């Protein structure tokens, strides 16, 4: 898979049906002015997926992602949704390993490794999140921490499987806090991640992997982040809930066109 310029909106658990429709529609309408090949992915709650996927079907720049999937393909798992089910309604991406799921739903490395494999087997592209806690950053252990996250779930994939993966570096201390990582901090970690990929899967894979930054990304700080050589785009939470804010971030990504 080739490296892409990408902006992903993670709505988390927000927007009832009609609100979601309006937001997805406004984002689509606002895209008419972007001619550059930017991939925009909206990740709404499950109830919106089928509708938004069908709205976006004809638009090559737009795609839909889920925020989670279950690791087993089917069966007696009350309340869960499989990767194949997501794919069957037109979903193309799935976020895996978001820090909120790691923390609040106790998702550990082995489960995330299974989720990655099942998502890819079903034809979804995983957006794999990694990133350190504040205490880890304060102890300056962030690189070892992220390396372990990658090694224990992501690097179990074959080279072919890995080629489907998008990585999102999201320092936990920056998520929803208004305190984004500085462009230099983010770039340093993105470069570190790319180097780890090069060691594991080779230079070609490293150069072709899309690595997004996430954590309080907004219209004010996006341009400086996107100007960094190893930051291909953003995974946006809070600012994806308003079409205008989200589109401004897309516009910043389009303005700095690297490849």
- Cα 144 from Cα 147, distance rounded (Å): 5
Residue bearing tokens 């785009």: 233
Of the candidate spans 20-28, 86-94, 109-117, 170-178, the one that interacts with ligand PGA by CB under 6 A turns out to be: 170-178
Check binding of 214 to ligand PGA (CB under 6 A): yes
Tokens of 116: 């990655």
Residue 126 or 215: the one with the smaller Cβ distance to ligand PGA is: 215
Choose which of 5, 6, 7, 10 interacts with ligand PGA (CB under 6 A): 10
| Residue 217 binds ligand PGA, judged by CB under 6 A | yes
Q: What is the three-class DSSP state of 206?
A: helix
Size, binding site for ligand PGA by CB under 6 A? 13
Name, in order, each residue with C-beta under 8 angstroms of 210's C-beta and a sequence gap of 6 or more: 1, 3, 4, 6, 166, 167, 232, 233
Which string of DSSP letters, residue by residue, matches 90-154?
T--EEEE--HHHHHHS---HHHHHHHHHHHHHTTPEEEEEE---HHHHHTT-HHHHHHHHHHHHG
By CB under 6 A, tell whether 5 contacts ligand PGA.
no
Provide the 3-class DSSP secondary structure of residue 10.
strand
Site for ligand PGA contains 20 (CB under 6 A)? no
Torsions phi, psi for 60 (to 5 deg)? -60, -25
Clarify whether 80 is annotated catalytic.
no
**What binding mask, one character per residue, do residues 175-194 give for ligand PGA by CB under 6 A, x or -?**
xx------------------
- Is residue 248 within the footprint of ligand PGA (CB under 6 A)? no
Task: Report, in Å, the least distance between residue 203 CB and ligand PGA.
Answer: 29
| Under rule CB under 6 A, residue 52 binds ligand PGA | no
Ranked by CB distance to ligand PGA, the top (closest) residue is 237
Nearer to ligand PGA, 99 or 187 (CB): 99
Examine residue 82 and tell whether it contacts ligand PGA (CB under 6 A).
no
**Could you give the CA distance from residue 83 to residue 195 in angstroms, rounded to a whole number?**
30
The residues facing 43 across adjacent strands are 10
To ligand PGA, the closest distance from the beta carbon of 127 in angstroms equals 9
- To the query of whether residue 109 is one of the catalytic residues in this protein, the response is no
**CA R_g for the chain:** 17
Contact status: 216 vs ligand PGA (CB under 6 A): yes
List 111, 235, 243, 254, residue binding ligand PGA (CB under 6 A): 235
Active site residues: 98, 170
Residues that bind ligand PGA (CB under 6 A): 10, 170, 175-176, 214-217, 235-239
């Amino acid at each position: 898979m080739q490296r892409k310029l990408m902006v992903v909106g993670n709505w988390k658990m927000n927007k009832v049906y009609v609100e979601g429709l309006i937001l997805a529609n406004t984002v689509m309408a606002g895209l008419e002015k972007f001619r550059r090949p930017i991939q925009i992915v909206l990740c709404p709650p499950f109830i919106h997926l089928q509708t938004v996927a069908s709205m976006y079907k004809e638009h090559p720049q737009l795609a839909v992602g889920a925020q989670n999937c279950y690791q087993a393909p089917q069966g007696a798992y009350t309340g869960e949704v499989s990767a194949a089910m997501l794919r069957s309604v037109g979903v193309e991406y799935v976020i895996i390993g978001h820090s909120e799921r790691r923390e609040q739903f106790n998702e550990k490395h082995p489960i995330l490794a299974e989720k990655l494999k099942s998502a890819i087997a079903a034809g979804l592209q995983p957006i794999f999140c990694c990133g350190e806690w504040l205490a880890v950053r304060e102890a300056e252990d962030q690189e070892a921490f992220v390396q372990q996250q990658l090694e224990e779930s992501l690097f179990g994939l074959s080279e072919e499987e890995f080629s489907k993966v998008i990585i999102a570096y999201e320092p936990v201390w920056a998520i929803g806090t208004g305190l984004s990582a500085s462009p230099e901090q983010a770039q340093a970690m993105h470069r570190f991640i790319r180097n780890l990929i090069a060691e594991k899967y080779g230079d070609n894979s490293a150069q072709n992997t899309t690595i997004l930054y996430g954590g309080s990304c907004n219209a004010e700080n996006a341009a400086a982040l996107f100007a960094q050589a190893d930051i291909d785009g953003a995974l946006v939470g809070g600012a994806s809930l308003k079409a205008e804010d989200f589109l401004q971030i897309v516009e910043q990504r389009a303005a700095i066109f690297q490849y």
